[in-house]
Amino acid sequence: MKRLIPVLKQDGVSIDLIMLIRTVLAASKEISFRVSQGALAGVLGSTLDENIQGEVQKKLDVLANQLIKDMLLADDSVRAIASEEEDHVVGGNPQGQYIVAFDPLDGSSNIDINGQIGTIFTIYKARDDVPHDSDLQFSQKGADQLCAGYVLYGASTLLVMSTGGPTRCFTLDQTHGGYLLTQQTMRVPEKRNEFAANMANYRYWNDANRQFFADVTHQDEKYDKSSMRWNAAMVGDVHRVLSRGGVFIYPGDKRAGVENGKIRLLYEANPLAMLVENAGGLALSNGQSILQIAPTSLHQRVPIAMGSKLNVELYTAATT
């Protein structure tokens, strides 16, 4: 099995970018180890703090954020970072050529139940036209991502990543501590009636979304043999979609603060959209390509539907 770096070199990725990806992955290996140790490593439970989005921070949210942040800020190629757990952009080396955004721990509510969790990351070229530590560094479209990936801390630790070409899957070999290529090219099937949505939000959805999910659950012939899957961790749900098709949907709803759904554009929607589209799937927000959205703020949320092309199109036709 091929190791990560030769694969990246073969894909034509520059040495500088490869070195930065290595930094992100070094942090992921440390997180993977702590996750596998669970209560033994003291990583379960909550802190007394909230992040800027009013969510209670879990100990592992804080730990994962600190590990990734420290490693990235020690890397000279990093001009700035943005994280779900940081209110604002944190400046790095003003001469660094890259910026990195990440969700250090996605699926925080799964930490304490030994469920699927992951780290999502994205890398862009730094902007020379704005200060190095400005939020505006990250005011770039998802289509400009140089690299997008996630590490899924599941039964095995997987890395799913694209550097502009195909979406590839690597498995962390715990015996030597490196990621090995285990799926050369991931392909999202064109259609699969497997839906991931938080159905408990039905009461908050608009009529179009209610009607769509009523059709799905009442087996309208278009959604023959449909089934529901919900991990409460987008990274796990999107991994299933990438592996065998289906669709992940998080619409906006009537709750204050959830008008645009819960998924953050910069470090959740954009990287996962790039991975899904580079595997032949589709990722839309109210009918618009997620990757073409011009960001308006760092922690901006967007309604999303991503996965098998036909399923995303059917959903979009019914709700926009």
Ligand X SMILES: O=P(O)(O)OC[C@H]1O[C@](O)(COP(=O)(O)O)[C@@H](O)[C@@H]1O
- Give the binding site for Mg ion (CB under 5 A): 84, 103, 105-106
DSSP secondary structure, 13-56, as one string: --HHHHHHHHHHHHHHHHHHHHHHHGGGGT--SEEEEE-TTSPE
Which residue's CB is nearer to Mg ion, number 55 or number 215? 55
| Phi, psi values for residue 127, rounded to 5° | -90, 135
Task: Kindly tell me which residue out of 108, 145, 209, 260 binds ligand X, with binding defined by CB under 6 A.
Answer: 108
- Tell me which stretch binds ligand X (CB under 6 A): 3-11, 14-22, 101-109, 133-141: 101-109
State how far the Cα of 45 lies from the Cα of 229, in Å rounded to an integer. Answer: 25
Hey, what amino acid is at 170?
F
- Smallest separation (angstroms) from ligand X to the CB of 96: 25
Residue range at the interface with ligand X (CB under 6 A); choices 140-148, 229-237, 277-285, 300-308: 229-237
Q: How far apart are CA 64 and CA 28, in angstroms?
A: 8
Determine whether the annotation assigns residue 285 to a binding site.
no
Confirm if 249 and 195 have CB atoms less than 8 A apart: yes
46 binds ligand X (CB under 6 A): no
Minimal distance, residue 198 CB to ligand X, in Å: 4
Question: Does residue number 243 form part of the binding site for ligand X (CB under 6 A)?
Answer: no
296 CB-near residues (< 8 Å, 6+ apart): none
Q: In sequence order, what are the residues at sequence separation of 6 or more whose Cβ sits closer than 8 angstroms to the Cβ of residue 317?
A: none
Q: Which of 84, 86, 194, 253 binds ligand X (CB under 6 A)?
A: 84
Nearest approach, Cβ of residue 167 and ligand X (Å): 19
118 is in an annotated binding site: no
Q: Which is nearer to Mg ion, 132 or 262 (CB)?
A: 262
d(CA 229, CA 85): 27
Cβ atoms of 142 and 292 within 8 Å: the answer is yes
User: In the complex with Mg ion, which residue's Cβ is closer, 106 or 277?
Assistant: 106
Helix, strand, or coil (residue 124): strand
Among 81, 100, 234, 284, binds ligand X (CB under 6 A): 234
Partner that binds at residue 198, options ligand X, Mg ion, none, CB closer than 5 to 8 Å by kind: ligand X
Pick from 96, 107, 142, 252 the residue near ligand X by CB under 6 A.
107
Q: Is 268 annotated as a binding residue?
A: yes
Q: What is the DSSP string of 258-299?
A: -TT-S-BIIIIIHHHHHHHHTTT-EEEETTEEGGGPPP-STT
Known binding residue 198? Answer is yes
Binding segment for ligand X (CB under 6 A), chosen from 186-194, 226-234, 272-280, 310-318, is 226-234
| Residue 85 within binding range of ligand X, rule CB under 6 A | no
Name the minimum Å distance from CB 51 to Mg ion. Answer: 8
Give the separation between CA 260 and CA 213, rounded to whole angstroms: 18
Nearest residue (CB) to Mg ion, 105 versus 169: 105
Q: Are 117 and 107 in contact (CB under 8 A)?
A: yes
What residues are designated binding site for Mg(2+)?
84, 103, 105-106, 268
Residues that bind ligand X in the complex, under the rule CB under 6 A: 55, 84, 103, 106-108, 198, 232-234, 262
